[in-house]
Amino acid sequence: MSTNGCPSPIELERAFDAADPGETVREHLDACPRCASRWEALQQLADDAAELGAVLDAPVRDAPDHAQARAALLAAAGASMPARGPRPRPRALPVVGAAAALLLLSGAALAATLALRGGGPAQHATVTALDAAAFAHFGDTHDEVIRVTQGRVLVDVSPLDSDERLRVIVGESEIEVVGTAFEVRADRDTLRELRVFHGRVELREAGVTQTFEAGDRLTRPGTAAPIVANAGAPAAATPDARGDGADIAVQLPEAAPAAGAPVTATNAPAALTAAREADHVAAAARPSPGRGSAAARATAAPRSQAVAAPRPVREAAAPGGAGAPPPEPARSVEAATAGTRREAEPEAEREFRAGWAALQSGDFATAADWFGGASRRGAALSDDAAFWRVVSLARGGRTQAAAADAGALLARSPAHPRAAELHLLLGGWYSADGRAADAYRELSVAAADHGDVGRAARAALERLQSSAGAE
Amino acid sequence: MSARARSGELVSLDAARTRADERRDAEARASDGLRRCARGDMTALGELFDLYARDLTRVVAKLLGPTDADVDDLVQRAFLAAFTAAPHFDGSRSARAWLIGVAVNVVRNERRARARRSRLAGAFGWARPTDEDPRQALECRSELRQLDACLRRLSEPLREVFVLSQLEHLPATAVAEALDVPVGTVHRRLHDARAKLLELRGVDA
């Protein structure tokens, strides 16, 4: 208590925060209007704070959102996992050829891949991200799981023992590795294609297990295929099929970075992904070598129950035995075009990466030069490189050159994923130059964006209009 | 006291005990999860997310603003940061408080990054308004809107203590653990925050 008999503010607050302020304080509050008033103010503040806390509470997440956020978290954690420990055993050499063939088929440049080694000390698979892939790699040899949500990864598997298992999971589909090499393509976390090159795999969906052997191919239409009804327990993996090493290419098409995406280091690899995606589409456009008989076997469900199950289509057997990948079909016009462009890809990728490194190190002039070079190659990442050249020029203080490049890029590629950002930048520069009409035009376009860019543009427009009104 | 009232008390006492048991169980699982995270076990990270995603989302939303588009992103960043920093968790603090502390740090870094970006945007001749938080939910209550505005005028240390203590209802010891400061510092900051807020609200201190 102070000399006038009142508790100090801190003492009063301690009493306020206590579960029971005590008889002495209660009596004092009855006798002292000043302290009673402060007590009441504290109570009002606490009540308002509690109510504010309730209002500000984020909406309760429903289960799908939580599951989605959880999967994204694990994928991000997996992608950022550092290298760990040596692989337990060397992979089987014969399968290396299959993996190399897969890479060639997909047109990926191995030298430009991002190698992210995942897994703990006792795992069979070494996972290499071929682009800005998002995946999680967990478990041990007894139940090792690779969960891929985005991008393409190469999974290199050492031989499994009979009591060990390895699964690759994409969305609701689960692929059990049974000593094999196969390719998986997914679209938005949904399995679209499965091609088996060597050995066999078991595909499980909603309790239905299908076995695919060398040469089998499962294809699905572009829209999400429904999962078949539950029709019994999954079949056990076949122990005698284990023991071979395996290489698996998991190929998931990925879109270019979304407009308005934050400027992060992952954007650069994502831009490279877009380049490879073009190759993937070109490869998919090649004529099919023909259709054979369906060879997959549903090991758990009767056919009648698997009404929505995809109908597997087996490709013609590859020359050279079941262990070899399918033959390269005759080159179509699209493939030929893609081939020409592929020749420019490695150089463009190299320049893009050099530009990115220069940008990150703050050497904006060099970055602009590298990105300019990558852009001029005419490769699939040309527009991305052009965008980052604009950014580099702007950060280097060369706004006039940046504005000219931004205008040219928008004229050439009006649907550029970052068009809204470019319009916003142009609006800002024009505004600073006193070119109100031009600024208004650019900001109006950017204002149509639904994210941060749109909000920034709308606010800038308001300021532009209010300053025009003031004049 | 009537039998019914006594019965109600017993029910609420049972419920409180159940909640306390659940909290203890969650705390034990979280501590174990952090230790497994330290060994690189990502299933443990998923379990931690299941346990505390909502808690961390609430904290981040209150510190940053519930309508902020980056809340989910920051929550994910907080869990990733916790996964990376898990080897530093020694078990002497509550796992939940430790995770909340990680989230507070993530928000703190984000605020600073935004301030830097805002200054850069200023160089272009327009302010970047993405830091603005419309908080439309507060439109209906002028007192809450006023308190929210006053909160944003507090310094970062005072705001963090006030939010965790008065909006999130964490006890002082938990706030101290989360922010890694002594309990006395929490009391002092809470007092300073209240004094400042009352002053801003025009209450004679």
Can you give the residue ranges of every domain in chain B? 52-200
Residue A305, CA distances (Å) to A129, A206, A410, B78 in order: 37, 12, 53, 45
Q: For chain A, how many structural domains are there in total?
A: 3
So what's the pLDDT on residue A138? 72
Comparing alpha-carbon positions, the chain A residue that sits nearest to B62 is A56
Full domain range(s) for residue A343: 334-470
Q: Please report, for the domain that includes residue A401, its CATH number.
A: 1.25.40.10
At residue A384's C-alpha, the angle toward residues A381 and A385, to 5°, is 85
Together in a domain, A181 and A278: yes
Rg of chain B on CA atoms, in Å? 20
Q: Is A47 on the interface with B (CB under 8 A)?
A: no
So what's the pLDDT on residue B191? 92
Together in a domain, A86 and A215: yes
So what's the pLDDT on residue A128? 60
**Positive or negative CA dihedral for A378, A383, A385, A389?**
positive
Domain B52-200 sits in CATH 1.20.140.160: yes
pTM of the full structure: 0.42
Together in a domain, A349 and A238: no
So what's the pLDDT on residue A67? 75
Residue B72: list chain A partners with CB under 8 A. Answer: 69
Q: Is residue A317 part of a domain?
A: no
Together in a domain, A134 and A21: no
Residue B158: list chain A partners with CB under 8 A. Answer: none
Q: Is residue A325 part of a domain?
A: no
* Residue A158 clears pLDDT 80, i.e. is over it: no
Q: Which segments in chain B show pLDDT lower than 70?
A: 1-13, 65-69, 116-141, 204-205
User: Does the complex come out with an ipTM higher than 0.90?
Assistant: no
Q: Is B122 on the interface with A (CB under 8 A)?
A: no
Together in a domain, A47 and A126: no
Together in a domain, A138 and A238: yes
* Residue A92 clears pLDDT 60, i.e. is over it: no
Report how far residue B107's alpha carbon sits from residue B113's, in angstroms, rounded to the nearest whole number. Answer: 10
Q: Is residue A329 part of a domain?
A: no
pLDDT confidence of A364, banded at 50, 70, 90?
confident
Together in a domain, A194 and A216: yes
Mean pLDDT of A120-141: 62
Higher pLDDT, A189 or A28: A28
Report how far residue A27's alpha carbon sits from residue A20's, in angstroms, rounded to the nearest whole number. Answer: 13
Residue B144: list chain A partners with CB under 8 A. Answer: 48, 51-52, 55
Together in a domain, A37 and A171: no
Asked if residue A179 lies in contact with residue A157, where contact means CB atoms within 8 angstroms, the answer is no
Alpha helix locations (H) across A207-297?
Answer: 267-284
Helix (H) or strand (E) holding A232: none
Q: Is B117 on the interface with A (CB under 8 A)?
A: no
Q: Is residue A452 part of a domain?
A: yes
So what's the pLDDT on residue A221? 64
Residues written for chain B: 205
Which residues face A129 on adjacent strands? A114, A153
Asked if residue B110 lies in contact with residue B70, where contact means CB atoms within 8 angstroms, the answer is yes
Together in a domain, A138 and A196: yes
Together in a domain, A342 and A293: no
**Which DSSP state fits A183?**
E
Dihedral (Cα; A152, A156, A159, A162), 10-degree rounding: -20
Residue A429, CA distances (Å) to A458, B82, B117 in order: 15, 41, 17
Mean pLDDT of A232-259: 30
Per-residue pLDDT tens digits for A11-64: 888 888 887 778 888 888 888 888 888 888 888 888 888 888 877 764 544 444
Min distance B135 CA to chain A CA atoms (Å): 8
* Residue A297 clears pLDDT 80, i.e. is over it: no
So what's the pLDDT on residue A182? 63
Together in a domain, A86 and A48: no
Per-residue pLDDT tens digits for B116-152: 666 655 554 444 444 444 444 444 457 777 888 888 8
Q: Cβ B147–A45 below 8 Å, yes or no?
A: yes
User: Which residues numbered 35-74 in B keep a CB inside 8 Å of some CB on A?
Assistant: 39-43, 45-46, 49-50, 53-54, 57-58, 61-62, 65-66, 69, 71-72
pLDDT confidence of A202, banded at 50, 70, 90?
confident
Report the relative pairing of strands A208-213 and A153-157 from DSSP bridges.
unpaired
Helix (H) or strand (E) holding A156: strand A153-157
User: Token digits for A405?
Assistant: 């490049």
Q: Cβ A9–B191 below 8 Å, yes or no?
A: yes
Q: Is A450 on the interface with B (CB under 8 A)?
A: no
So what's the pLDDT on residue B6? 56
Report how far residue A3's alpha carbon sits from residue A50's, in angstroms, rounded to the nearest whole number. Answer: 34
Together in a domain, A128 and A162: yes
